[in-house]
Structure 1
Amino acid sequence: MKKTLLTSFILASVSFGCSESNDVSKNEKSSAKIKVVSDPKMQAWVGHYTAVTPCANCVTRCEGCEGIGIDLKINADQSFVFERTDNNADTKPVVFMGRFRFIDPDKRKIELMGVSDKHKFALSEGSIEVIDTKTERFFDSEDEFLLDKLT
Structure 2
Amino acid sequence: MKNIILVSVIFASIGLGCAQSKSDVTSAHEKQQVDTNLQKWVGKYQGSLPCAACVSRCEGCEGVSYDLELFQDQSFTLLYRSNQDNSVLESHRGRFEFLDDGKLQIELHPLKARNILVYTDDGIEILDSVTMQPYIDHEDFMLQKMSS
The match for 1:52 is 48
Q: Percent identity?
A: 36
Q: Give 1:75's match in structure 2, choosing from 71, 91, 94.
A: 71
Note the C-alpha offset of 1:89.
7.4
Provide the TM-score with structure 1 as the length reference. Answer: 0.70
User: Structure 2: which amino acid aligns with 1:144?
Assistant: D
Note the C-alpha offset of 1:88.
5.2
Matched, 1:116 2:120: no
User: Structure 1: which amino acid aligns with 2:95?
Assistant: R
Matched, 1:63 2:40: no
Give the Cα–Cα distance (whole angstroms) in 2 for the partners of residues 124 and 43 of structure 1: 14
Note the C-alpha offset of 1:38.
6.4
- For residues 2-151 of structure 1, what are the structure 2 equivalents within 5 Å? 35=31, 39-87=35-83, 92-151=88-147
Give the Cα–Cα distance (whole angstroms) in 2 for the partners of residues 117 and 147 of structure 1: 16
Q: Contact 1:36 / 1:76 at 8 angstroms: preserved in 2?
A: no
User: Structure 1: which amino acid aligns with 2:57?
Assistant: R
Q: Contact 2:80 / 2:88 at 8 angstroms: preserved in 1?
A: no
Provide the TM-score with structure 2 as the length reference. Answer: 0.71
Q: Contact 1:82 / 1:97 at 8 angstroms: preserved in 2?
A: yes
Classify the secondary structure of the residue corresponding to 2:88: coil
Distance 1:67 1:37, change over 3 A: farther
User: Which string of whole-angstrom CA distances, capped at 9 and with x for unpartnered residues, describes residues 99-121 of structure 1?
Assistant: 11112222111111011321111
Which ranges in structure 2 are unaligned for 5 or more consecutive residues? 1-27
Alignment root-mean-square deviation, CA: 2.2
Distance 1:89 1:119, change over 3 A: farther
Give the Cα–Cα distance (whole angstroms) in 1 for the partners of residues 32 and 79 of structure 2: 24
Give the Cα–Cα distance (whole angstroms) in 2 for the partners of residues 138 and 81 of structure 1: 23
The match for 1:16 is none
Which ranges in structure 1 are unaligned for 5 or more consecutive residues? 1-31
Note the C-alpha offset of 1:79.
0.6
> Which protein has the bigger strand share?
2
Classify the secondary structure of the residue corresponding to 2:131: coil
